[in-house]
Amino acid sequence: MTPADRARRRAAAGAIALSGPATLLLLALFAAPLLRLLALSVAGGSLAAYERALTNELYLRVIFETFKIAAIVTLLTLALGYPVAYVMATSGRTWQLVGIAFVLLPFWTSILVRTYAWMVMLGRNGVVNRALIGWGVIDSPLPLLNNLAGVLIGMVHVLLPYMILPVFNAVRNVDPNLVLAAVGLGAPRWRAFLRITLPLTMNGVAAGVTLVFTLSLGFFITPALLGGGRVVMVANLIEEQVRELLNWAFAGALSTILLALTLAAFWGISRIARTRSA
Amino acid sequence: MATQEVKDAELRVDGVAKRYGAVVALGGVSLSVAAGEFLTILGPSGSGKTTLLKVVAGFEFPDAGRVTVGGADITDVSPARRNIGMVFQNYALFPHMNVARNIAFPLQMRGVPRSEVERRVIQAMALVELRGYGERLPSQLSGGQQQRVALARAVVFDPTLLLLDEPFGALDRKLRESMQLEVRRLQRRLGLTTVFITHDQEEALVLSDRIAVMDGGTIRQIGAPDEIYDRPADAFVAQFIGESNLLVGEIAAPDRVLLDDGTSVTVRGLGGGRGRVRLLVRPEKMAIDSATNRFTGTVVEAVYLGEAHKLRVRVGEGVELMVRGHHAVSAGATVTVGFAPEDAHVIWGAG
A278 band by pLDDT with thresholds 50, 70 and 90: very low
Confidence (pLDDT) at B170: 78
Which of A185, A189, A276 to probe the B interface (max B CBs under 10 A)? A185
**A184 and B79: CB-CB below 8 Å?**
yes
A42 band by pLDDT with thresholds 50, 70 and 90: confident
Q: Which of A182, A183, A186 sits opposite B110 (nearest CB)?
A: A186
Q: How far apart are CA A173 and CA A207, in angstroms?
A: 15
**B92 and A175: CB-CB below 8 Å?**
yes
Q: How far apart are CA B52 and CA B85, in angstroms?
A: 15
Q: How far apart are CA A147 and CA A159, in angstroms?
A: 19
Q: How far apart are CA B29 and CA B15, in angstroms?
A: 5
Q: Residue B109: its chain A contacts at CB < 8 A?
A: 185-187, 191
pTM: 0.82
Judged by a CB distance cut-off of 8 A, whether residue B112 touches chain A is: no
DSSP β-ladder status, B334-338 and B287-288:
antiparallel
Q: How far apart are CA B221 and CA B39, in angstroms?
A: 13
Judged by a CB distance cut-off of 8 A, whether residue B153 touches chain A is: yes
> Is residue B156 pLDDT above 70, yes or no?
yes
Q: A with B: how many residue pairs have Cβ under 8 Å apart?
A: 58
Confidence (pLDDT) at A277: 56
The SS3 of residue B47 is coil
Is there a contact between A171 and A89 (Cβ–Cβ < 8 Å)?
yes
> Is residue A247 pLDDT above 90, yes or no?
no
Chain B residue with the nearest C-alpha to that of A186: B80
The SS3 of residue A141 is coil
Q: Residue A196: its chain B contacts at CB < 8 A?
A: 94
Q: Residue A277: its chain B contacts at CB < 8 A?
A: 96
Read off the pLDDT of residues B83-99 as tens digits, 9 standing for 90 and up.
Answer: 999 999 899 999 999 99
| Residues whose CB falls within 8 Å of the CB of residue B61, separated by 6 or more in sequence, listed in order | B55, B75, B76
Arithmetic mean of pLDDT over chain B: 90
Read off the pLDDT of residues B217-234 as tens digits, 9 standing for 90 and up.
Answer: 999 999 999 999 999 999
Q: Residue B120: its chain A contacts at CB < 8 A?
A: none
How many angstroms away from the CA of A276 is the closest CA of chain B? 11
Read off the pLDDT of residues A95-125 as tens digits, 9 standing for 90 and up.
Answer: 999 999 999 988 888 888 998 989 889 988 8
> Is residue B304 pLDDT above 50, yes or no?
yes
Confidence (pLDDT) at B113: 96
DSSP β-ladder status, B194-198 and B38-42:
parallel
> Is residue B26 pLDDT above 60, yes or no?
yes
Judged by a CB distance cut-off of 8 A, whether residue A185 touches chain B is: yes
> Is residue B5 pLDDT above 50, yes or no?
no
Q: How far apart are CA B114 and CA B107, in angstroms?
A: 9
Read off the pLDDT of residues B87-134 as tens digits, 9 standing for 90 and up.
Answer: 998 999 999 999 999 999 999 999 999 999 999 999 999 999 999 999
Confidence (pLDDT) at A43: 78
Judged by a CB distance cut-off of 8 A, whether residue B88 touches chain A is: yes
> Is residue A186 pLDDT above 80, yes or no?
yes
Using N-to-C axis directions, what is the helix angle for B114-127 and B99-109, rounded to 10°? Answer: 130
Q: Residue A173: its chain B contacts at CB < 8 A?
A: none
Long-range CB contact pairs, B179-187, < 8 A, 24+: B179/B144, B179/B147, B180/B206, B180/B207, B182/B128, B182/B148, B183/B151, B183/B207, B184/B38, B186/B127, B186/B128, B186/B151, B186/B155, B187/B38, B187/B162
> Is residue B6 pLDDT above 50, yes or no?
no
Read off the pLDDT of residues B164-182 as tens digits, 9 standing for 90 and up.
Answer: 999 888 788 888 888 898 8
Confidence (pLDDT) at A78: 97
Judged by a CB distance cut-off of 8 A, whether residue A188 touches chain B is: yes
> Is residue A271 pLDDT above 90, yes or no?
no
Confidence (pLDDT) at B3: 44
Q: In one letter, which amino acid is B140?
A: Q
Judged by a CB distance cut-off of 8 A, whether residue B167 touches chain A is: no
How many angstroms away from the CA of B88 is the closest CA of chain A? 8
Judged by a CB distance cut-off of 8 A, whether residue B110 touches chain A is: yes
Q: Residue A178: its chain B contacts at CB < 8 A?
A: 92, 94-95
Averaged pLDDT, B60-84 = 93
> Is residue A276 pLDDT above 80, yes or no?
no
Averaged pLDDT, B274-293 = 89
The question of ipTM being above 0.95 is answered as no
Q: How far apart are CA A73 and CA B267, in angstroms?
A: 85
Judged by a CB distance cut-off of 8 A, whether residue A177 touches chain B is: yes
**A186 and B96: CB-CB below 8 Å?**
no
Q: In one letter, which amino acid is A22?
A: A
Q: How far apart are CA A260 and CA A255, in angstroms?
A: 9
Arithmetic mean of pLDDT over chain A: 89
Q: In one letter, which amino acid is B221?
A: Q
Strands (E), chain B: 11-20, 23-33, 38-42, 64-69, 72-73, 84-87, 161-165, 194-198, 210-215, 218-223, 245-253, 256-259, 264-266, 276-281, 287-288, 294-304, 309-316, 319-325, 334-338, 345-348
Considering A47-56, A122-131, B62-71, the range whose residues carry the highest mean pLDDT is B62-71
Chain B residue with the nearest C-alpha to that of A179: B92
Residues 198-217 in A contacting B (C-alpha not used; CB under 8 Å): 199-200
Q: How far apart are CA B210 and CA B40, in angstroms?
A: 6
Is there a contact between B222 and B237 (Cβ–Cβ < 8 Å)?
no
Confidence (pLDDT) at A249: 87
Q: How far apart are CA B65 and CA B280, in angstroms?
A: 35
Q: Residue B146: its chain A contacts at CB < 8 A?
A: none
Confidence (pLDDT) at B4: 43
